[in-house]
Each structure stands twice: as C-alpha cells, then as structure tokens.
A and B are shown apart, each in its own frame.
Chain A
Amino acid sequence: MSHFSELMNHNRVTRTRQRKAANTIMITLTGLVTALALVPLFWIIGYVVIRGGKSINLDFFIHLPTPMGVAGGGVLSAIEGTLVVMLLAAIFAIPPGVLAAFYAARYPNTPLGVALRFSTDVLSGIPSIVVGLFGYAVIVVPMKHYSGLAGGAALAVLMLPTIIRTTEEMLKLVPHTLREASLGLGAPEWKTSLSVVFPAAINGILTGFLLALARATGETAPLLMTSLGNERFDIGQIIRSGIQSHLSVFQIIWKIINQPVDSLPLALWKYAQQPYPERVNLAWAVALVLMLFVLIVNITARVWIQNRTQRMKG
C-alpha cells in the first residue's frame, strides 16, 4: 500500500467518527429546539383548556351575559355576533376575491394583473387596526352608528389578500392541458374557467377561504372600531319582535346587521380587563370557545376536502 492510500485510510476512519459525532449533536440540537417551539403551543392550549373549562357549561352557550355581580349568564351574544360578522365578511370578500384571482391567474402580465398582485401584497401587510380605522371612516361615520355590517366589511378587507393569493395559486396549479382540452372541444374561455379550471382547483380554493376565515375570526382590533360590541345582541329576540311587528325577512336581516354586534374576541378583551374574578373566568372560557371554534372549522374543512379529493381521484 502506498503512503498516500495509507494516509487516506487513516483519515477515513477519523473522518467517519467525526461525522457521526456531528450528526448526533445536530440531531439532538434540532430535536430539542423543535420540542422547545412546541412548548408555548401546548402551554397556551393546555392553560386555556384548564382555566376556561371550569366556566363552560350549557348556560354559557345559550344565555346572554348577566349584569356585573349577577351570577350565571353566558356569551350567546358574542357567539351569534361572531357568526353574523364572519358570514358578512365571507359574503363581501369571497366573490370579488375569486373573480380578481381569476383575472390575475389568466392575465398575470397585464398592467392590471401586476397592479393587483402588488396591491394584495401591500394590503396583506397593513396592520388590522388600520383596517378598522378605515371601516370606521368609510362606513361607521357616514352611517352615524356602529354595526355588524361595518365589522363584516372590515374583516372582508383583511381576508381579501389571502383569498386572492391562495385562489390565484390554486388556479395556476391546474394543468394547462386541461384548459386546452376544453378549448379544443370548442368551449369558450369563460365556460372553460367555470366548468373545468374552477372545479379542478376548488379544494385548494376552499382551503384558502377557511384559512382566511379562521384568521379573521380572531381579529379584535378592526371590530373595536366597527361593530363595537353589544351584550344585548340577541338574534332570536330580533326575529321574534320583527315577526310581531310584521317586518319582512329583509327588514329583519337588516335589523340584525345594522346594529352594533358582539363577538368572541371583543368579549374576551372586555372581560379580561375587568377587576372581577368571575368576569376573568368568563374571559378564559371565551378564549376556549374561540379556540375550539377555529379548530372545529379547520378540522371539518380538512376532512370534507379530503373526502372530496378522494372522490375526484376515484
């Protein structure tokens, strides 16, 4: 054996030992850091479940808040208010968001397409409190009162960039060959977009909606300046009195959305800063409900989408 290969052999043995040691150290290190990153997550979830779980019972979901010092009561107003505001936000944000995404995916290099991409990037970076202020100036001030409508509009502005970008990405993932197959049969562009491209991308698009909705559900700042909060908000009561005074369906709906409404994050924020232990406990419970709300929306969506995908693939 030559001197060179002897040296090489020697080196190989020590090198291997060094490499193995480095490997062990790095795996331990990255594993530890990963575990560390999970600590706050489980800490938050665990803490909220323990502190909030104590105050949760059926009353909590079906009663309005009681006046301070009166035992019992729930957060029905906040749950209903959140549902109303989220529904409005979805109605305001989804149709224009999807249409804009279609345009951006089809004509990415036109001036309008470039402008759209740039402005969604800018929009997604705007602090939510600024969006709230915008809703205040544009809707609350002219209407002269706070309303669920204004809250829904503010959250819609927050959701818009997420919806546009995820929808656009999903539309771009649809293979070009599918479009060609449809156009090759003589289908016009709009028909191809509507009945081939959109259905092929629908799962990803729905995921985008739900992510945007879940994020917006937890927003507090914009709602402070738009839907204000309203512990007396009770949809059942509005409907009953509306029927009694012979209002039409539209008038009743208008009444629901045209007044200040409560919402879970607002209730949480309000209760948490009050000096009464039972109110603080209520805040923990609200936090738990909010968390569960987002979690349930996410899980049902994922399961539903998975089933759809499997049915598509056969």
Chain B
Amino acid sequence: MHVVVCAKQIPDPAAPQSLDADHALNRSGKQILDEADTYGVEMALQLVDRAGGGEVTLVSMCSAADVAGLRNGLAMGAARAVVVSDDSLRGSDALGTAKVLAAAITRLNPDLVLAATESSDGYTGTTPVQVAELLGMPSITFAKAVRVEGATVTVERQTEAGYDEVSAPLPCVVTVTAGVVEPRYASFKGIMAAKSKPVEVLSVADLGLEGQVGWSGARQEIISVVAAESRAAGEKHVDEGDGAQRIVEFLDSVKVL
C-alpha cells in the first residue's frame, strides 16, 4: 500500500508570529514539521505495517532550501519526500496550495492520502478536501481512528454528538485529528537514514501550474490588519487557601449562584 502524507513546514508556534508587509505570514525563521502532521505520518506508517508492505511518501509545498522539518518525517520512517519549491508560490491561498499538492500527488498514484485536519499556522482546514475534489476522490475529515480492509477505508469521524463510522473506496483522502495515534520519536538510526533518503524537488512549471498559484492565483486580498479590542485583565490573587472562597464571591457578584 502506498500512502501519501501531506506535510507542512511552519514557523515554530512557540516563537512570536508576525505578518510581513505584504500580509503573508513571516516565515523567515526556522521552519519545523507541523506537529499536527506527525499524527498523519505515524498513522501512515502503522497502516503500511498492517497492510504487510508498501511505503509512505511525504508531499509538501515549501522552500527546498530548508527541509529539516520533512527530514523529521523521513526519520520517523517515511521512505521519501516530494517537495514543490518555487518563488512564484509565495502568496498562494488554500486552493492554490491544493492545486500544487494535487498535481504532485497524482504523479504518485497513491492508495490513500492522509493530512492533518488543519495546519497549526494558517488553520484554514480546507486544503485536504480541495485536494480530494481536484483529484476526484472521496474524503473523510476529522478521523479519530482509521483502518484499511482490502480496497476500503473505514474511519471513526468526529461529530457534534460523538462519532460516525464512515467508509469509502480507495483511493481516498482522510484528515486525521491530533491524538489519533501517538507519533513515534525518530530513533538515532532513523535520523541517520533520513539524511540519505530521496527528496525530489519539483517546480510550478514541472506541474504545469504557471499563473494559477501564488499571489495572482489567490484572488483574495487582505485590506487591513488592526489590533483587536482586547479584554483587560482583572484581579489576580495568589491562593493562600482562600482561592475557592474568592471564586464563590465572584460567582455571587455576577449573580449566577
């Protein structure tokens, strides 16, 4: 079984974030593999194991100059990575990104495509399903469990009330939630092996997408960025055994007791 995992490198969420003058997210610092994607990588590795063979390929749109985050996915056990890297991709929106990923994925002819439900930087949460529509594949989002039997994938999909069991024929796009599996730590051997695993680099021209991606393809624009109305901090007390009493007094003061 061949599983493609859509992987995104993002600025370290622990570091302060800012927008550039053109309103794109500042990505000049160190890029890391989005933690949300490590669940997809782990799930893919487990599914390939259970299927008794196959491999996991990472697909990403990022600068080929910095693929350290993808190397983490390779160190976990993915076999190779395909990177679409091109200056003209700057400013791409979710649909532009989906076009790039779909074009890269279709060359790989996978049985299953996994992605996170949303990235931890842009969190639009639409790209994987746009990829599915562009590829003419079914999709199942918000998976909290995934199993493959023969040519069918069955997913426990989160709902407002609990979860639905949803199945679809392969090939299919599935988005996984954080916590769906426990991502493995890369072993020393894995980290060493990752250094020599293949990372194929493709351009926008290689995919035949000139003019459809980047700023020109986005067809939406940010017109302003302003500080939001902020909530003022109220009182802060250090608990000296009276914390609970203070909460009760507060609840009294707002008349909810």
Chain A partners chain B: no
B residues adjacent to A (C-beta < 8 A): none
A residues adjacent to B (C-beta < 8 A): none
